[in-house]
Structure 1
Amino acid sequence: MNYVGNTWIPLPCVLHAGGHQKWATALVAVVTIPIVVLLISGQGAALPDMVAAGIETVAPTAILLLFAVLYFGIMMDAKLFDPISRGIIRLSGGDPVKICVGTAVLALLVALDGDGTTSYMIICSAFLPIYRKLGINPLVIATIATMALGTVSGTTPWGGAATRAISVLQIDATDYFVHMLPAMLLMSATIIGLAYLLGRNARKKITPERIAEVTAHVSAGRHEESSDGSLRTKATWRTWVNASLTVTLLVLLVLGVADLLVLFMLGFIIVLVVNHPRPADQGDVIRAHAANAVPVVILVLGAGVFTGILTETGMTTAMANALISLIPDGAEGLIPAAAALIGIPLSFFMANDAYFFGIVPVLAESAAQYSIPPEEMARAAVIGQMAHSIGPASAPLWVLLGLVRASLGDFQRFAFLWVLAASLMYIVFALLTGAISIGL
């Protein structure tokens, strides 16, 4: 229950109702509910200033997301990762271990797009046929894909989870990400290692004859055929330009040469002109990807309204003070690590909107009472995204289950321990690299 003026309201609960039925979309909830509460509390006169202040704080994040989504949309249209997937399969030589490791490498790369559905479709279209030909359990590819998406898309500032954390906590995206990047890279390497173990387990169940047959299939180049029997598009000069620009963009990001929104704005303009030199085509491309970009941007602006009202009215502070009273003396420095730990089950069971808009601001405000920066709490909050990626509230997961033809229960029984172990390791990496700290 949250207190505003003389009114109590169960704010986090309205974001996602019990069961599978929602009371409202996330945008409607995060904008309407705080406004209604503000009006009821008799503070309506301050509404315009509060809304303007909130939107002003999230505007840079909204711009970043707009251009990042458009940028990676063009990369997906250009099939940037097709040559990589063909090369990985060719290098695997039909070995299940190498195929699983290659799946992890491709999954981590395509997760940069930030869209789970797109990532799963690319991974499955590239690797699922060879999994079935070898007889590898398709739940293996699903487990690897969800861990990769939860790590990369869940951590990058243009991914859905970090987007919410950055906007609701009103923090700088570059500062958040640069300090989280080492932990993300270590976790990515760990996922490749876990894929190796999954591949070892799979290879024990496959006969040498079947492996030899698939090896011959790959050696003949038949893995490069589309479903209709035609050869897939080969790499062109534009592919190399796209790849070089993407690598350069990530390097500049790490070096902190400019703000993320500036880098992605310039990067988008370059790839737009390179891949679609005709002005008429450029307009069509922007309109085509607006369907993915606009909802995310609107949600961030809605989050600005939400946080502006919560901050200016003192709602978040009141809730944080209540939470602080439960923290034992001397344990305040454990707040970031504790937040990361409890974020694993919360992320599994809750929708991201309810978690990041209802829970994370309270945790961050509580931490602020002990001079723990909000950037650190944002990093702690996103660590649970691997667990979220296998939970029932993850919409892209249902697409993945359809692709691999598996039930949610079967998949969760197979993937749960792998994902739990990986999530706990992510916390360890975040602590070791200083992304989150323990102050005793």
Structure 2
Amino acid sequence: MQLALIGFLMLITIIFLLFKGKVTPMVVFITVPTIAAFLAGFNIEEVVSFIESGIGTVSNMAILFIFSVTFFGVLADTGMFDAVVNRLVKKSQDHIVLVAVVTAIVAVFSHLDGATVTTVLITVPALLPLYQKLNIRPQLLILITACGMGVMNLLPWGGPVARAAAVLGMEANDLWKLLIPIQILGVFMTIGLAVIMILREKKHYQAQNEVLVVNDSTEEQMETLENPLHRPKLIWFNFLLTLVVLLVLLWDKFPAYFVFMWGCALALMINYPNVKDQKERIKAHAAAALDVSAVMLAAGIMVGILGQSGMLEAMAIPLLKIIPPFLAKHLHLIMGVLGFPLGTMLGTDSYFYGLMPLAIEIGENYSISPLAMGTAMLITKNLSLLISPMVPATYLATALAGVELKEHIRYSFIPLWIVGILMLVFSLLIGLVA
């Protein structure tokens, strides 16, 4: 009973501190679980063994994050993403439905790197003038971006997948391969949502299907402004390199982090052969690469202490007594449906490292596999990424689009939740969360 009480107090403290935002997640995950373990009566040798076990489960994913973020960051520096976005924007200027479809494609493509801020900075500023010209509310732009981002964040270097894989004790790449059919469906659903919502905008707000007239001299002037980091002559090499990296990941003969090590090395050598330039590019993306990786390694301490100390088992016992049996056998589906609103209210770390392990432990007592529970909670949570007040990119998107946060939530909450539930239903039909 004492172990369960300390476990609950530990989770409540972690979630509270993360929710308040007074302490960084890395500090929370290092200090609170360690203190809880000692309060529970474990000695130094036992606590160290818990920590080593937990760190061991997340170390590969931390390395994956460092090199995948750097890889896609370098590709963004070369102008590869800008070239695609600019071409799509030009093609979509004369049709309102095409504008929405292009928004979905840009959101999906620009989130290949798994970085929320990058996706917002690529998508919103590039497409907002089109929306303003056609009298389309900017809330739709953020909604489509949020949907595309939520779907693409199912990639193995996306934060939620890596966190869920760490909790499940499996490789992020292995989890992603199971999620590929759901992700493909999600891409089409993002496009479908964009079309449905743009037609709704046209019907109710008389969004006019006008041709956006681009000033030729302005366009030519913009094209002449060259970014010294861009490598237009190497764009096809960079596309080919990205394709090869993705194919080798699917081939699954090498560890995912090793594939990105090679990809990162080749991207740097070919695009920036000067050693000084290579160092500058690494430094430019070091903060983003190390931030999540450091949090993940710190979270490994909590994962190890929860899993190895017996806290999870002790915490599950009182919860099992209050959950009605007829509901308990469907707990994974209930948590999947509630994953979207819970993900909106809870931060990513507290959701995956606090709530998910407890739900998995309870579900196992009702013959619900950890994979089924983890996947169900992951799918719908991902859709809440750019609607959650706990995510900094949400504020960036609303500020760039000139939209109040409450307006964005009111406009996007139900459509995104519906998409998440439909993806959950599909995962049930293919037997992934059965």
- TM-score (ref. length: structure 1): 0.90
Q: 2:340 aligns with which of 344, 355, 358?
A: 344
Q: Deviations over 1:49-84 (max 9, x none)?
A: 221121112111111111111111112212222222
Q: Is the alpha carbon distance of 1:8 and 1:98 closer, same or farther for their aligned partners in structure 2, counting shifts above 3 Å?
A: closer
Q: Is the alpha carbon distance of 1:258 and 1:407 closer, same or farther for their aligned partners in structure 2, counting shifts above 3 Å?
A: same
> Partner residue of 1:410?
407
Task: Report 1:286-435 matches (<5 A).
Answer: 286-329=282-325, 333-370=329-366, 372-383=368-379, 384-435=381-432
> Using the alignment, how far apart are the partners of 1:7 and 1:200 within structure 2?
53
> Partner residue of 2:12?
13
> Partner residue of 1:276?
272
Give the conservation status (yes or no) of the 8 Å contact 1:69–1:113.
yes
Q: Is the alpha carbon distance of 1:224 and 1:27 closer, same or farther for their aligned partners in structure 2, counting shifts above 3 Å?
A: farther
Structure 1 stretch 327-336 or stretch 272-281: which is displaced more?
327-336
> Using the alignment, how far apart are the partners of 1:50 and 1:20 within structure 2?
26
Q: Is the alpha carbon distance of 1:124 and 1:359 closer, same or farther for their aligned partners in structure 2, counting shifts above 3 Å?
A: same
> Partner residue of 2:166?
167
> Partner residue of 1:59?
59
Task: Report 1:25-424 matches (<5 A).
Answer: 25-45=24-44, 46-153=46-153, 155-204=154-203, 205-206=205-206, 211-212=210-211, 214=212, 216-217=213-214, 226=222, 230=224, 236-329=232-325, 333-370=329-366, 372-383=368-379, 384-424=381-421
Structure 2 counterpart of 1:305, one-letter code: I
SS of 2:157's equivalent in the other structure is coil
Q: Is the alpha carbon distance of 1:323 and 1:102 closer, same or farther for their aligned partners in structure 2, counting shifts above 3 Å?
A: same
Q: Is the alpha carbon distance of 1:68 and 1:22 closer, same or farther for their aligned partners in structure 2, counting shifts above 3 Å?
A: same
Deviation at 1:225, TM superposition (A): 6.0
> Using the alignment, how far apart are the partners of 1:72 and 1:367 within structure 2?
37
> Using the alignment, how far apart are the partners of 1:84 and 1:304 within structure 2?
38
> Using the alignment, how far apart are the partners of 1:261 and 1:35 within structure 2?
28
Give the conservation status (yes or no) of the 8 Å contact 2:329–2:367.
no
Give the conservation status (yes or no) of the 8 Å contact 1:57–1:170.
yes
> Using the alignment, how far apart are the partners of 1:207 and 1:331 within structure 2?
46
Structure 2 counterpart of 1:145, one-letter code: T
Give the conservation status (yes or no) of the 8 Å contact 1:97–1:198.
no
SS of 1:211's equivalent in the other structure is coil
> Using the alignment, how far apart are the partners of 1:432 and 1:222 within structure 2?
52
> Using the alignment, how far apart are the partners of 2:346 and 2:36 within structure 1?
23
Give the conservation status (yes or no) of the 8 Å contact 2:7–2:311.
no
> Using the alignment, how far apart are the partners of 2:67 and 2:121 within structure 1?
22
> Using the alignment, how far apart are the partners of 2:312 and 2:22 within structure 1?
23
Deviation at 1:374, TM superposition (A): 3.0
SS of 2:388's equivalent in the other structure is coil
SS of 1:242's equivalent in the other structure is helix
Aligned length: 429
SS of 2:86's equivalent in the other structure is helix
Deviation at 1:134, TM superposition (A): 2.0
Q: Is the alpha carbon distance of 1:193 and 1:9 closer, same or farther for their aligned partners in structure 2, counting shifts above 3 Å?
A: closer
SS of 2:94's equivalent in the other structure is coil
Q: Is the alpha carbon distance of 1:19 and 1:259 closer, same or farther for their aligned partners in structure 2, counting shifts above 3 Å?
A: closer
> Using the alignment, how far apart are the partners of 1:278 and 1:19 within structure 2?
42
Deviation at 1:191, TM superposition (A): 0.7
Q: Is the alpha carbon distance of 1:146 and 1:5 closer, same or farther for their aligned partners in structure 2, counting shifts above 3 Å?
A: closer
Mark the runs of 5 or more structure 2 residues left unpaired by the alignment: none
Deviation at 1:3, TM superposition (A): 4.4
Deviation at 1:206, TM superposition (A): 4.9
> Using the alignment, how far apart are the partners of 2:17 and 2:384 within structure 1?
19
Deviation at 1:327, TM superposition (A): 4.4
Give the conservation status (yes or no) of the 8 Å contact 2:15–2:354.
no
The percentage of aligned residue pairs carrying the same residue is: 28
SS of 2:20's equivalent in the other structure is coil
